[in-house]
Structure 1
Amino acid sequence: MNEHSPSGAGVTVAAAPTEVFPPTLREVLLRPWWLGMLGLALVIAGVFAWLGQWQLGSAIDTDPPPPGMNEQVRPLAEVTSPGDYLAEPLVGQMVQASGRWIPGDFLIVASRFNDGDEGYWVTGQLRLDTATTGTDQPASLAVAVGWTPTRTAAVAAVDELEAAVAADPDATVALTGRLISDEGPGLPPAGADPQTMTRMSPAALLGQWHDTDGLDVYRAYLTSAEPLGGLEKIHSPAPDEGSTVNWLNIFYAAEWAVFAGFAFYMWYRLGRDAWEKEVEALEEEAAGTPERGDGTGTATVG
């Protein structure tokens, strides 16, 4: 029977193609793998949210120091201890201390401004007594005893103070002043004596002090309320009352909130990329399937 036979023997007929519908984005995101990834994103976002809440809680001081607290004179031992950093609310605290001066340790610090005028500080090592520290362990406090506009006057003040100490090395002095944080050591100006100091740093002063074996040193230093050695009083006003809101912590809290949202965005973005690749692959497969000629996608009757 030929190809025109009514029986249809030997006639090749194209098979009806099976239409494949690409998945929707919702279907892809509801698959077990992406649901698991969503759970991981929830965990990460939860951690970020907790960190943001912690930062927000730290941003607001619920127990701020009362106004004028820094002007109330307190014993040094109640405020800080040797080697400890001075807490921010206690910077500028008025304290009292007593002890004796160590001979040979009245040193000059340059580039000190007093109410806008540049000059010099004269500093000394005050070896604290047990009444101040509360222990028998030797401890010293760096003290700025006064200011002068010229180095010549600073040298004269050092000579006067050293002479007074030499006359009575065991004399006890009681001081009241403002406690200030260590400024940290700094390099001397170019061409100056290597021993020149331009920053008030107990650590730097310690390098030039005497009798320091087994000595504890306070990180903070004291600006004496009463000048010594014929010097002028150091201008050391009370610190401004700080805000009870730490805006830096609030900024960090906002950052953590953004990170939490980014965890969900990354889950959505990765899922969408996977969906787009799957749809693109299906479209390319459908476009590349021949309808006839090689036996693929066709059926032979008879």
Structure 2
Amino acid sequence: MTTPDLPTSPDGGATAAPDVPEVFPPTLREVLLRPRWIALLALCLVVAGVFAWLGQWQLGRAIDIDPTPPGATEEVRPIAEVVEPGQYLSEPRVGQRVTVTGTWVPGDFIIVASRFNDGVEGYWVTGQFRVAGDPAVPVSVAVALGWAATEAEAEAAVERLNEDAAAPEAAETALAITGRLISDEGTALPPTGADPFTLTRMSPAALLSRWHDADGLSVYRQYVAAEVPQGGLEAISSPAPAEGSDVNWLNIFYAAEWAVFAGFAFYLWYRLARDAWEKELEDLEDAAAAAS
């Protein structure tokens, strides 16, 4: 058995092996306490604080601290107390019973198709109702006067209504209309093969494009479904809206999301620091292996 040759000195004597300083790997705690990671933690605290504020804001909007009393929509109120012309209607006021005083504009009674009354499809007859007030500032609201089972019945009602509205005394006699205030349904293309001017949605914006005497006119974005039909039409079925909940669960879900984002900011900081620590341990192991 032979022994390995030891390094020798110039005079032929053996020399001792060089001393290699022992390197102790850092702990995860030592890495986390380094200035770089402490600064990154401070940044994560700021980000998490912003997320927490957003979550608190969402929670504040999730619970209605001033809910609408039950049955409030059944109290008849002047339309001007509920919404102004051109304004959007807030959700608790949709379906509010309102009253409005004014006169009909002759020639602006328009039929809207595909209207269901207690499950039966038919037609609405609508009209431009000029609100009583300052003539220099004209204001109108779209009113659904009633329902007809057939288009012929609806057209006959339009003829009667136009005759009544064109009478000389009609322009001087103010009428009071009571009904539910309902939001614009938007517009839709007419059915295939139908008249291109056919309306299937109750949209004051669409009706406005076909009204007369509309220069400088202010219009309510909503329409009124009249409780008492006119022109020989049937009453429109318009039940009271369902009572809404005082809790908005969608906002609560958003608040929970912001809390998750805040927690993820801290997890990301920890994960990055741990990855750096593990990389440093691997480098030390590789260096030790190369030295041996």
Q: CA deviation at 1:157?
A: 0.7
Partner of 2:44: 41
> Deviations for 1:98-134, whole angstroms, at most 9, x for unmatched residues?
111111110011111111111111100001111xxx7
Residues of 2 paired with 1:116 and 1:5: CA distance? 109
Residues of 2 paired with 1:5 and 1:113: CA distance? 108
Residues of 1 paired with 2:7 and 2:262: CA distance? 72
Partner of 2:153: 153
Q: CA deviation at 1:11?
A: 2.5
Residues of 2 paired with 1:128 and 1:80: CA distance? 14
What is the letter of the counterpart of residue 157 of structure 2?
A
Partner of 1:185: 187
Partner of 2:283: 281
What is the letter of the counterpart of residue 100 of structure 1?
T
Residues of 2 paired with 1:9 and 1:46: CA distance? 72
Q: CA deviation at 1:13?
A: 3.3
Equivalent of residue 260 in structure 1, options 262, 276, 285: 262
Q: CA deviation at 1:180?
A: 0.4
> Closer, same or farther in 2 for the Cα pair 1:6/1:141, shift >3 Å?
closer
Structure 1 gaps of 5+ residues are: 292-302
What is the letter of the counterpart of residue 224 of structure 2?
L
Residues of 2 paired with 1:5 and 1:161: CA distance? 124
| Residue 61 (structure 2) pairs with residue 53 (structure 1) | no
Structure 2 gaps of 5+ residues are: 1-5
Partner of 1:99: 102
> Closer, same or farther in 2 for the Cα pair 1:6/1:58, shift >3 Å?
closer
> Closer, same or farther in 2 for the Cα pair 1:5/1:166, shift >3 Å?
closer
Residues of 1 paired with 2:70 and 2:8: CA distance? 111
| TM alignment of 1:1-302, pairs within 5 A | 9-130=12-133, 136-168=136-168, 169-170=170-171, 171-289=173-291, 291=292
Residues of 1 paired with 2:245 and 2:32: CA distance? 47
> Closer, same or farther in 2 for the Cα pair 1:54/1:42, shift >3 Å?
same
TM-score relative to the length of structure 1: 0.90
Larger RCO (CA under 8 A, 6+ residues apart): 1
> Closer, same or farther in 2 for the Cα pair 1:263/1:4, shift >3 Å?
closer
Contact 2:74 2:96 in 1 (8 A): yes
Moved more, 260-269 or 164-173: 164-173
What is the letter of the counterpart of residue 55 of structure 2?
G
Contact 2:7 2:15 in 1 (8 A): no
Residues of 1 paired with 2:194 and 2:278: CA distance? 69
Residues of 2 paired with 1:286 and 1:187: CA distance? 77
Moved more, 239-248 or 12-21: 12-21
> Closer, same or farther in 2 for the Cα pair 1:252/1:135, shift >3 Å?
farther
What is the letter of the counterpart of residue 179 of structure 1?
L
Residues of 2 paired with 1:149 and 1:286: CA distance? 92
Residues of 2 paired with 1:66 and 1:185: CA distance? 33
Q: CA deviation at 1:135?
A: 8.4
Q: CA deviation at 1:239?
A: 0.6
Residues of 1 paired with 2:107 and 2:224: CA distance? 19
What is the letter of the counterpart of residue 117 of structure 2?
N
What is the letter of the counterpart of residue 66 of structure 1?
P
What is the letter of the counterpart of residue 147 of structure 1?
W
Identity value in percent: 65
RMSD across aligned C-alpha pairs, in angstroms? 1.9
> Deviations for 1:207-236, whole angstroms, at most 9, x for unmatched residues?
111111001010011000100111110000
SS at match of 2:215: coil
Residues of 2 paired with 1:241 and 1:179: CA distance? 16
> Deviations for 1:52-90, whole angstroms, at most 9, x for unmatched residues?
111111111111111111111101110000110001111
